[in-house]
């Protein structure tokens, strides 16, 4: 462990030197990555220094206990060790966790996609509720959000809505939200008070930068069309909406939120890059998963991950067996308890895998 702390000290120093170099500002993308890495290593080092301090104190007390003959002093040392040793054990666990391999994609901004699934109009209404949940969650964290595309439902809500979410570690925090979210409640249109079950799908993509994905102009098919509002009402009188198809992969992205065709094209290309990047990451993760039994770190969206039960004010995350009874607070954006529990579960899985458990 001491070698790890020393390595963190050296890495933190080296990154500080790189950041202080005036030439580092020349490439803004590289500088941002360097800043993120510096912040990440600083947090690791704080955990490491805490372990180092406790380890030193425990070692000193144990050595002192060997030579101390005064009964009162012996008792005091034993009492201190009784507090320090459990703290040292926890600090060692924290350091092991902090030293787990870091996925650089976790530092990225995110693309949030919500789509109505089974349940018809009720699913579209719940998709709107889920969008509000994530917008409020982002706001509480000081993140910025930007609407990219939306398709409204015939009776309200959204068939599909896409946002960019920008803030420190947005993708790393949101990535485990990907999956099928099921709702159980009495729809507003239900006259007999029967509970219906509907679902929406949530996809979280790491937002790609221009340097991540090379897109050749000849590989793109770009269609423009007139943006539509609810009920077929035209939003614009010009063909400003843009649909971009990446011919080699068949991946499609579109945007009609802006009145400018140029701005819609830029947003659609941003989403397209993120989807291509996600496909590449998913392919890489699939290869890794095929080589090991433990699929730590994969964002499998094939099955339901969470249920929101309104009659019982209950939210259950099926992946980790977590159930809480504060649905109203969660729908208002207080998702921290659930997010933290999932992240901790993933870290423990990864830690067990490194130990060969």
Residue 177 sits in the same domain as residue 75: no
Contact between 315 and 336 under an 8 Å Cβ cutoff? The reply is: no
Residues 80 and 116 in one domain: no
- How many angstroms separate the CA atoms of 278 and 272, rounded? 10
Q: How far is CA 61 from CA 66, 68, 174, 197, 210, in A?
A: 9, 10, 44, 61, 55
Q: Please check whether residue 146 lies inside any domain of the structure.
A: yes
Establish if 357 belongs to a structural domain: no
Half-sphere exposure of 184 (CA within 13 A, CB side): 11
pLDDT value at position 211? 56
Which strands sit side by side in the sheet containing 304-309, from one edge to the other? Answer: 144-152, 158-166, 110-116, 196-206, 179-185, 304-309, 314-317, 322-324
Q: Are residues 108 and 234 in the same domain?
A: yes
Block residue for tokens 């729809």: 187
Can you tell me the distance from the alpha carbon of 1 to that of 228, in angstroms, rounded to the nearest whole number?
60
Give the CATH number for residue 121.
Answer: 3.30.70.1660
Both tokens of 220, joined, read: 């793109």
- Assigned domain for 140 exists: yes
For residues 83 and 119, membership in a common domain is answered with no
- The number of folded domains in the chain is 2
The mean pLDDT value of the chain amounts to: 86
User: SS3 of 255, please?
Assistant: strand
Distance of alpha carbon 301 from alpha carbon 286, whole angstroms: 13
| Angle, alpha carbons 21-22-27 (nearest 5°) | 100
Same domain, 84 and 125: no
Domain end among 69, 98, 127:
98
Both 186 and 288 in one domain: the answer is yes
Which whole-number Å values give the CA distances from 241 to 115, 222, 223, 253, in the listed order?
A: 19, 10, 8, 11
- Is there a domain that residue 205 lies in? yes
Mean of the pLDDT values across residues 301-306? 72
Q: Does residue 58 form part of some domain? A: yes
Q: Are residues 57 and 121 in the same domain?
A: no
What is the mean pLDDT of the segment spanning 328-338?
A: 95
268 and 213 part of one domain: yes
Could you tell me if residue 52 is inside a domain? yes
144 and 196 together in one domain? yes
Which strand ranges, in their side-by-side order, compose the sheet holding 241-246? 220-225, 241-246, 251-255
Of 65, 80, 98, the last residue of a domain is 98
pLDDT in tens, 31-90: 888 888 898 899 999 999 999 999 999 999 999 988 888 888 999 999 999 999 999 999
Domain that holds residue 56: 2-98
User: Which one is predicted more confidently, 102 or 338?
Assistant: 338
φ, ψ for residue 254 (rounded to 5)?
Answer: -145, 160
Q: Are residues 122 and 52 in the same domain?
A: no
Position with higher pLDDT, 232 vs 130: 130
The percent of residues in the chain predicted with pLDDT above 90, rounded, is 47
Task: Please check the confidence at residue 191 and state whether its pLDDT lies above 80.
Answer: no
CB atoms within 10 A of CB 28: 9
DSSP string, 113-165: EEEE-TTTHHHHHHHHHHHHHHHHHHHHTT-EEEEEEEEE-BTBSEEEEEEEE
Give the Cα separation of 111 and 70 in Å (integer).
65
Task: Please identify, among 98, 119, 137, the residue that sits at the C-terminal boundary of a domain.
Answer: 98
Residue 213 has pLDDT above 80, yes or no: no
Same domain, residue pair 77 and 126: no
Do 54 and 202 fall into the same domain?
no
The answer on pLDDT for 232 being more than 50 is no
Q: If we measure between CA atoms, which residue out of 5, 9, 29 comes closest to residue 17?
A: 9
DSSP assignment of 305-339 equals EEEEETTTTEEEETTTTEEES-HHHHHTT--HHHH
Assign 228 a pLDDT band (cuts: 50, 70, 90): low
In a domain, 297, yes or no: no
User: How high is the pLDDT of residue 350?
Assistant: 85
Is the pLDDT reported for residue 183 higher than 50?
A: yes
Residue 236's pLDDT band (boundaries 50, 70, 90)? low
DSSP 183: E
CA within 13 Å, CB half, 162:
20
Map residue 45 onto helix, strand or coil: helix
The answer as to whether 238 is a domain residue is yes
């Amino acid at each position: 462990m001491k070698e790890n702390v020393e390595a963190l000290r050296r890495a933190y120093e080296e990154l500080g030197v790189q950041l202080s170099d005036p030439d580092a500002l020349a490439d803004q993308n590289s500088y941002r990555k360097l800043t993120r890495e510096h912040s990440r290593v600083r947090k690791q080092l704080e955990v490491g220094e805490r372990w180092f301090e406790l380890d030193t104190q425990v070692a000193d007390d144990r050595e002192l206990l060997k030579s101390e003959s005064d009964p009162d002093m012996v008792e005091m040392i034993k009492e201190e060790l009784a507090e320090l040793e459990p703290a040292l054990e926890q600090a060692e666990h924290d350091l092991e966790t902090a030293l787990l391999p870091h996925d650089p994609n976790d530092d990225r901004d995110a693309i949030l996609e919500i789509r109505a699934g089974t349940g018809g109009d009720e699913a579209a209404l719940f998709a709107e509720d889920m969008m509000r949940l994530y917008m409020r969650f982002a706001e509480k964290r000081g993140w910025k959000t930007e609407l990219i595309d939306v398709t409204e439902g015939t009776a309200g809500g959204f068939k599909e809505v896409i946002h960019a979410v920008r803030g420190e570690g947005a993708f790393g925090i949101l990535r485990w939200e990907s999956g099928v979210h099921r709702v159980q409640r009495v729809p507003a249109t239900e006259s007999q008070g029967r509970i219906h079950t509907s679902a929406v799908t949530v996809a979280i993509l790491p937002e790609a930068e221009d340097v991540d994905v090379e897109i050749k102009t000849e590989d793109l098919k770009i269609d423009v069309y007139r943006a539509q509002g609810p009920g077929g009402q035209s939003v614009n009188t010009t063909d400003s909406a843009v649909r971009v198809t990446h011919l080699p992969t068949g991946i499609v992205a579109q945007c009609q939120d802006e009145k400018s065709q140029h701005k819609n094209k830029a947003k659609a290309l941003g989403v397209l890059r993120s989807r291509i990047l996600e496909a590449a990451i998913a392919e890489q993760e699939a290869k890794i998963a095929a080589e090991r039994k433990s699929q730590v770190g994969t964002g499998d969206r094939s099955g339901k991950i969470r249920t929101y039960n309104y009659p019982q004010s209950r939210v259950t995350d099926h992946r980790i067996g977590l159930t809480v009874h504060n649905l109203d607070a969660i729908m208002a954006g207080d998702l921290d308890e659930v997010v933290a529990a999932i992240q901790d579960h993933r870290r423990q899985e990864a830690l067990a895998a490194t130990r060969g458990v």
